[in-house]
Amino acid sequence: MKVVFTGIPDVLLIEPQIFGDKCGFFYESYNERVFLDKVGISSHFFQDNHSRSIKNVLLGLHYQIEQPQGKLVRVVVG
């Protein structure tokens, strides 16, 4: 896993190591131990949701005051 610290506080670019061959590919999208080692954040990852948005729309990001949540955004294309 490659972690790139961006100019925006608390926003990280996480690039998984992809293992591919003629049959396809595999990658580990999240590993708690590796994330702790590279980023220094110890947090339990309770939920992972996947959504697909149409062009110029980003679903799934909502500002929450009562029960704040961290968001993991995965860009698959583009």
Local structure of 33: helix, strand or coil: helix
| Selected residue with higher pLDDT from 4 and 53 | 4
20: phi > 0 → left, psi -120 to 50 → alpha, else beta; which?
beta
Task: Report the alpha-carbon angle 13-64-49, nearest 5.
Answer: 55
Q: What is the mean pLDDT of residues 34-50?
A: 75
* pTM of structure: 0.51
Query: What residue segments make up the domains of the chain, in order of their start?
Result: 2-39
pLDDT digits (tens, 9 = 90+) for 46-61: 666 666 777 887 766 6
